[in-house]
Structures are given as C-alpha cells and as structure tokens.
C-alpha cells in the first residue's frame, strides 16, 4: 500500500500542477453557465424590430382591418390608396421603412387563401406568424358574428380556458400536506445534465489513463518503474491518482455550484416566482436548496468515482497491451459502446423512468453511472441506488483483477499488435 500511495501521489501532483488543470477547473463552470445563458442572449440579440405593414382590406366595411391590433412585433396601418389599386400601393409602400403590404381579399371570411403578403425584404418568421394569427382571429370573429348571438365576446372569453401547467405531487408520504412537488421537465433537464457530466468525465479522464499508460510504455518509463513495484501496483496507482484528480475537480465544481444555489439563485428566482405562482416556487426551491443539491452531488460523486474506476481499469489494460494510440482504436470502440448505449437509454428516460430496460441499465455497471444519475431526479427508491452503487464498486474490483492480469503481461510486450485471443491468453496465464 505504501508503494501504491507513492504512485498515486506522483500521478496526482503531475496533473494538478499543470496549467491545463487549473484552466479547465475554472473555465468549465463558466462555460456551463455561458451555455445556459447563451440561448437567452441569442434570442435577445436576434429579436427583430417592430415592422410596419400597410393593409389593403377589400372586405365590405373593412371588417378585418378594424380587428387588427398593432403590437411590439408588427404595426398595421391602412393603406392610403384604393384597396383595389395594388400598383399604387406598391409604389407608395415599397421602401425599406415598410415591411410589406398585406392584401386581404373581399371573400377572405369564406376563402382563407385570398390573403397575400408582399414584402420588401427578407421574411421574418415572428412577424409573419403575428400577422397570420391576427388575421386568423379576425376571420374567426367575423364568422361568429354571423350567428348573431348576444354578448358573444364575453361568452368566448369566459369559455377560453388554457391550463399552462399542472401541479404534480409525489405520493410518497402518509401526510397529504407533506407531499413533495415534482416536475417531469425539471427532472428530465437535471437528469440530462448529470448524465452528460458523467459521460464526459468517463470519456475525458478514462482517455487520460489510456494515453498516460501508452506514453510511458513508449518511453520505456514503465520498464524502469516495474523494477520497484509490481505491474498491478503500478496500474492501481495510476488509476487512483487520476481518480483523485477527477474527484478534486468535481468537489471544486460542487462548491461553486452550491454557492450559486445558496446565494445567487434565490436572488435571481425571487422575481420570477412572484409571477410564476406557488407551484413553480416550490419546484425551483429544490434547485436553491443546499441540502437537495448536496445530496445530488454526493450521489454524483459516488457514481463518478465508481464509474471512473471501473472504466479506468479497462483503459489501463488496453493501454498496457498496445504500443500506440492507433492500435488502441479497436479496443477503445468496444469500451465506448456501453457508454453510448447508456446515452441512448438516458434520452428515453422521460417517457418511462421505471421501465424494465431503464431499471436494468441503471443496475448493470457498464451503464449504471450514466443511466442511474439521469433517473435520480425523477425519484428512485433508496435501495435501488444502494444496490446499484454496491454492484458498481464490486464490479470494479473484479475488473481491476482482470485488468491487472493483462497489465502484468502487456506492459512488457513491444512491437506486436495484440488480438482479443491474446488478451484472453494473458488473463489465463499463471
């Protein structure tokens, strides 16, 4: 254990002191925040200015024009020419200061195809949609007016009901008042974020183990190091050292995100919860709860450590068996296939987080780190999480034993591209 601890310290110091570690540790949370804010900024930056539209209403009494209402997106103005004189309208409103000319046919109420929009520049989807909705509402009002029903506007306004959201409670307590509110949308978003975090960590840090072993094997550093320790000790030291680097980075990110949840998020959400209602406030309270986020990061930490150790053992075995990254390609593809499968299952969790395939993929160690972390925000029984974590760590010890038997032979092999048959023979070799 003393030799393993020395190897762990060597790997840890070598990576933590690198500028790349410091830069990624600081930039990754900022990048995540930027990715969340970017869509809003893009929408604000791409927001179109108010467009002016001249209207040629050919209906009797110009009923459609009277129903059109100007807004922030489009301003309607009745054309100061004869509704039938399209040429005069084009000459008068063909400048860049006008978005275009809306021509409303005389039979628009019965024939909705007699509607034209002649634009002076490139089409703007939001403006076209606003015009379409306004004309559509005006035609609906004109058709309803034919029935001559008294107080029709009030009746329609009273009957027009829209449910924007439904309060969803988790039936997990005996007390009616203490049921927790949940949301499939927020659970899915959290699950996707956590699952993708695990995916990238397994890929990035797993590949670091692979490249580190290959580099030291190519430079014959491993040949020197095995004179002072066994190949298995060398492999475990490298795996645990890089695992500590990943764990340190996750802890730093967790502290930053928990600080944001405790101090920044409540201030940002205070304005929105006043207008969103009590239900939304209860849902977002989970995101601003330090205890909830701490529990989430604890589970994330366990799956990151367990998943990384499990996959790092395979990457270390492959790295010891080959002489260059190109030869590792055939083995690396096999290692990545379960992770890709986990991503595919994760994307379908929202449809049924408790389906059979999701349950078993959250228990099998090859896919459980990604799939289970995506399931946890939906509410998973504690025993399932406990069993999944226990199976994951037990599987790591089994995989480490297999990888160790490959590592002890592969580290001395040079100039030969191994096959799957060779790896099997190395595992059985006494």
Strand partners, 115: 104
Spacing of C-alpha 421 from chain mean position: 40
Is 271 a member of any domain?
Answer: no
Sequence-distant (≥ 6) Cβ neighbours of residue 108 within 8 angstroms:
59, 64, 114, 115, 135, 139
In whole numbers, what is the pLDDT of the chain averaged over residues? Answer: 78
Q: What is the pTM of this model?
A: 0.61
Confidence band of 393 (pLDDT split at 50, 70, 90): very high
Arithmetic mean of pLDDT, 365-389: 85
Same domain for 201 and 105: no
Q: What residues make up the domain containing 394?
A: 3-31+183-260+282-428
Tell me the three-class secondary structure of the chain, residue by residue.
Answer: CHHHHHHHHHHHHHHHCCHHHHHHHHHHHHHHHHHHHHHHHHHHHCCCCCEEEEEEECCHHHHHHHHCCCCCCEEEEECCCCCCCHHHHHHHCCCCCCCEEEEECCCCCCCCCCEEEEECCCCCHHHHHHHHHHHHHHHHHHHHHCCCCCCHHHHHHHHCCCCCCCCEEECCCCCHHHCEEECHHHHHHHHHHHHHHHHHHHHHHHHHHHHHHHHHHHCCHHHHHCCCCCHHHHHHHHHHHHHHHHHHHHHHHHHHHHHHHHHHHHHHHHHHHHHHCHHHHHHHHHHCCHHHHHHHHHHHHHHHHHHHHHHHHHHHHHHHHCCCCCCCHHHHHHHHHHHHHHHHHHHCCCCCCCCHHHHHHCCCCCCHHHHHHHHHHHCCCHHHHHHHHHHHHHHHHHHHHHHHHHHHHHCCCCCCCCCHHHHHHHHHCC
Q: Does residue 114 have a pLDDT over 70?
A: yes
CATH code, domain with 129: 3.40.190.10
The string of pLDDT tens digits covering residues 345-362 is 887 777 777 788 888 988
Same domain for 238 and 120: no
Strand partners, 101: 54, 118
Same domain for 353 and 401: yes
Q: Which residues of 54-81 are buried (b: 16+ CB within 10 A; e: fewer)?
A: bbbbbbeebbbbebbeeeebbebeebeb
Confidence band of 389 (pLDDT split at 50, 70, 90): very high
Is 276 a member of any domain?
Answer: no
Same domain for 16 and 79: no
Same domain for 225 and 305: yes
Is 229 a member of any domain?
Answer: yes
Sequence-distant (≥ 6) Cβ neighbours of residue 184 within 8 angstroms:
168, 350, 378
Same domain for 201 and 79: no
Same domain for 296 and 233: yes
The string of pLDDT tens digits covering residues 192-225 is 777 777 777 777 777 878 888 888 777 777 777 7
| Cα torsion 126, 129, 135, 140: sign | negative
Same domain for 76 and 115: yes
Separation CA 173–CA 354 (nearest Å): 19
Q: Which residue has the higher pLDDT, 271 or 29?
A: 29
The string of pLDDT tens digits covering residues 119-177 is 988 888 888 888 998 899 888 888 888 887 777 777 777 777 666 555 444 555 555 44
Is 11 a member of any domain?
Answer: yes
The pLDDT assigned to 258 comes to 67
- The fraction of the chain above a pLDDT of 90, given in percent, is 7
Q: Does residue 275 have a pLDDT over 60?
A: no
Same domain for 355 and 326: yes
The pLDDT assigned to 282 comes to 45
Most confident stretch, 8-17, 172-181, 388-397, 404-413: 388-397
Arithmetic mean of pLDDT, 418-423: 82
Domains in the chain, number: 2
The pLDDT assigned to 395 comes to 92
Is 274 a member of any domain?
Answer: no
């Amino acid at each position: 254990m003393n030799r393993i601890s020395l190897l762990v310290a060597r790997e840890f110091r070598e990576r933590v002191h690198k500028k790349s570690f410091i830069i990624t540790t600081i930039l990754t949370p900022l990048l995540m925040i930027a990715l969340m804010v970017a869509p809003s900024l893009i929408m604000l930056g791409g927001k179109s200015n108010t467009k002016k539209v001249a209207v040629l209403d050919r209906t009797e009494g110009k009923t459609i024009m009277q129903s059109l209402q100007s807004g922030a997106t489009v301003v309607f103005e009745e054309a100061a020419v004869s509704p039938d004189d399209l040429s005069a309208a084009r000459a008068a409103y063909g400048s860049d200061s006008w978005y275009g000319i809306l021509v409303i046919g005389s039979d628009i109420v019965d024939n909705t195809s007699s509607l034209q929009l002649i634009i002076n520049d490139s089409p703007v989807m939001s403006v076209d949609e606003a015009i379409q909705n306004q004309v559509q509402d005006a035609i609906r009002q004109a058709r309803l007016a034919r029935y001559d029903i008294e107080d029709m506007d009030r009746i329609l306004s009273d009957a027009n009901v829209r449910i924007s959201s439904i309060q969803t409670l988790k039936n997990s307590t005996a007390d009616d008042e203490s049921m927790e509110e949940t949301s499939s949308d927020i659970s899915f978003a959290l699950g996707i974020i956590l699952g993708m975090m695990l995916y990238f960590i397994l890929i990035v840090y797993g590949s670091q183990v692979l490249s580190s072993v290959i580099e030291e094997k190519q430079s014959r550093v491993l040949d020197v190091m095995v004179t002072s320790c066994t190949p298995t000790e060398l492999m475990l030291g490298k795996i645990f050292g890089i695992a500590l680097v990943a764990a340190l980075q996750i802890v730093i990110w967790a502290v930053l995100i928990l600080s944001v949840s405790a101090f920044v998020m409540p201030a940002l959400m205070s304005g929105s919860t006043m207008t969103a209602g009590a239900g939304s406030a209860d849902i977002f309270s989970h995101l601003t709860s330090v205890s909830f986020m701490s529990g989430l990061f604890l589970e994330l930490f366990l799956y990151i450590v367990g998943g990384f150790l499990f996959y790092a053992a395979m990457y270390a075995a492959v790295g010891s068996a080959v002489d260059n990254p190109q030869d590792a390609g055939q083995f690396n593809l096999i290692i990545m296939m379960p992770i890709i499968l986990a991503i595919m299952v994760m994307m379908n969790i929202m449809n049924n987080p408790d389906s059979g395939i999701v349950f078993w993929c959250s228990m099998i160690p090859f896919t459980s780190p990604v799939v289970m972390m995506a399931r946890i925000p939906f509410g998973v029984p504690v025993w399932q999480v406990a069993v999944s974590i226990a199976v994951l760590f037990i599987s790591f010890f089994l995989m480490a034993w297999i990888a160790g038997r490959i590592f002890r032979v592969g580290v001395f092999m040079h100039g030969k591209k191994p096959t799957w048959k060779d790896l099997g023979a190395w595992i059985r070799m006494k």
